[in-house]
């Protein structure tokens, strides 16, 4: 069966569809109905030839207003759908699940979808229930009701919803009333608040300068970074899986979150989201703090990069307590963290395995001044290390 329509390619909120190609007949029939009702729908028809499959899926899930999952015996066996739903849950997306063949939701999906709204094609008034569940005020052209079929009251409701959501301009004919109401409200507000304005200027006080979201994020990250590095070492998530890196509740435990993937071409601010603070280590697992919370990540998913010192190549110590030098290693090479230690001065030390260079395979301890975890375009060592293809 051919694809029923071109996937939505605009910037408005839309529905991300997760399904198995084995179910495409039933899925496409449902999608064609939703499309005829004005819903903006993205599905894998929208992936351009030669594009990175996982990159596109991750970006579309992140920008979607909700995720429509078609659950069947086929989709429960698909590793791709499992990753899509894990990513959607990590990004706290609204998920609607349609059960196609009366299958029992089992295993990992039963756990992941325990709080998810589910419905079956056999349910009475199926499409009516489905449309209401898909957040039509965000994902449908014209808002809660399709523009072509709504009456005067329906248009008013759609316009009101769209303005409240901040997504669309008021429908034609409403702008005059809306503008008049806004002017009256502004006049009233100025009259009530005038003495506040005068007080500010009379006292010589200035309102704080507004920061852009990017500036606020950078300032917040810098504060968190300084706090984290004060007593605990940091590492970089270097897992190459484009679906992201699993964070678990305990070593080898259930997955509770996913740290998003960052490509070599991503901005530094995106890469910084993959910097984690090491809190504890249990065997080959590290408990880490990251932007989304805390959890366990396997040591094979983490890395640091060696950094040179004023007197040359960084030393690899046999022990942080005796500080006996074992060997010197090259600057700008990759290393895997094995354990960490914070000495009585509050200085973090990292036990590492060297992954390349003339000392490949060597293990020992690096002082905090001789390893890097923070991705920064100005750090040539980082550029030599983790930005290149692994």
Domain boundaries, the chain: 15-141, 216-385
Question: What DSSP state is assigned to residue 75?
Answer: G
Q: Using the predicted structure, report yes or no on whether residue 272 has a pLDDT greater than 50.
A: yes
Distance CA 325, CA 312 (A): 14
Would you state the pLDDT for residue 98? 94
Task: Judge whether residue 166 has pLDDT over 80.
Answer: no
- SS3 of 238, please? coil
- Helix 126-133 to helix 24-36 angle (10° resolution) is 70
Q: What is the pLDDT of residue 198?
A: 36
User: In 3D, which of 362, 365, 354 has the Cα closest to residue 323?
Assistant: 365
pLDDT of residue 115: 77
Q: Which residues of 131-145 are buried (b: 16+ CB within 10 A; e: fewer)?
A: bebbbbbbbbbbbbb
Beta bridge partners of residue 344, listed in sequence order: none
Which pLDDT value is given to residue 231? Answer: 63
> From CA 270, how far away is CA 16, in angstroms rounded?
23
Specify the range with the lowest mean pLDDT, choosing from 116-120, 267-271, 286-290: 267-271
Q: Which of 87, 69, 93 is nearest to 20 (CA)?
A: 69
Does residue 196 carry a pLDDT above 50?
no
User: First vs last Cα of the chain: how many Å apart?
Assistant: 39
The torsion angles phi and psi of 87, rounded to 5 degrees, stand at: -65, -45
Of residues 54, 30, 39, the one with CA closest to residue 7: 39
| Cβ atoms of residues 28 and 81 within 8 Å | no
Task: State yes or no: pLDDT of 141 exceeds 60.
Answer: yes
Q: Looking at the domain 15-141, which fold is it?
A: Rossmann fold (3.40.50)
User: Tell me, what's the pLDDT at 1?
Assistant: 58
Q: Which tops the pLDDT comparison, 188 or 271?
A: 271
What per-residue confidence (pLDDT) applies to 242? 82
Range from 3-17, 33-47, 81-95, 340-354 carrying the lowest mean pLDDT: 340-354
Statement: residue 217 has pLDDT above 60? no
Give the pLDDT of residue 15: 97
d(CA 82, CA 77): 8
CA 95 to chain centre: 16
Residue in the block written with tokens 């806004």 = 182
């Amino acid at each position: 069966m051919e694809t029923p329509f071109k996937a939505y390619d605009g910037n408005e909120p839309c529905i991300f569809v997760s399904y198995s190609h084995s179910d495409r007949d039933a899925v496409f029939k449902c999608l064609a109905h939703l499309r005829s009702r004005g819903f903006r729908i993205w599905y894998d028809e929208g992936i351009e030839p030669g594009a990175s499959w996982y990159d596109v899926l991750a970006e579309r899930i992140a920008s979607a207003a909700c995720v429509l999952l078609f659950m069947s015996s086929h989709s429960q066996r698909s590793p791709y759908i499992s990753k899509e739903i894990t990513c959607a849950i990590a990004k706290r997306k609204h998920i609607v699940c349609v059960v196609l063949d009366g299958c029992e939701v089992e295993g990992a999906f039963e756990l992941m979808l325990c709080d998810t709204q589910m419905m079956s094609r056999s349910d009475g008034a199926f499409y009516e229930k489905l449309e209401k569940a898909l957040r039509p005020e965000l994902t449908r052209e014209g808002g809660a009701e399709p523009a072509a079929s709504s009456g005067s009251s329906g248009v008013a409701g759609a316009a009101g919803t769209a303005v409240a959501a901040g997504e669309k301009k008021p429908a034609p004919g409403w702008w005059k009333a809306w503008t008049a109401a806004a002017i009256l409200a502004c006049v009233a507000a100025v009259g009530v608040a005038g003495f506040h304005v005068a007080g500010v200027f009379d006292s010589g006080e200035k309102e704080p300068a507004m920061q852009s979201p990017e500036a606020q994020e950078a300032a917040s990250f810098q504060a968190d970074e300084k706090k984290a590095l004060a007593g605990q070492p940091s590492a970089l998530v270097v897992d190459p899986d484009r679906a992201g890196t699993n964070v678990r509740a305990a070593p080898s435990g259930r997955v509770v979150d996913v740290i998003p993937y960052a490509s070599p071409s991503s901005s530094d601010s995106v890469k910084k989201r993959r910097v984690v603070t090491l809190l504890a280590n249990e065997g080959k697992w590290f408990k880490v703090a990251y932007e989304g919370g805390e959890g366990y990540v396997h040591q094979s998913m983490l890395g640091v990069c060696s950094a040179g010192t004023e007197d040359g190549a960084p030393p690899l110590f046999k022990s942080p307590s005796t500080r006996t030098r074992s060997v010197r290693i090259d600057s700008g090479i990759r290393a895997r963290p094995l354990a960490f230690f914070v000495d009585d001065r509050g200085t973090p030390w990292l036990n590492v395995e060297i992954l390349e260079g003339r000392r490949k395979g060597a293990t020992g301890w690096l002082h905090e001044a001789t390893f890097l975890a923070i991705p920064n375009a100005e750090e040539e060592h980082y550029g030599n290390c983790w930005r290149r293809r692994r």
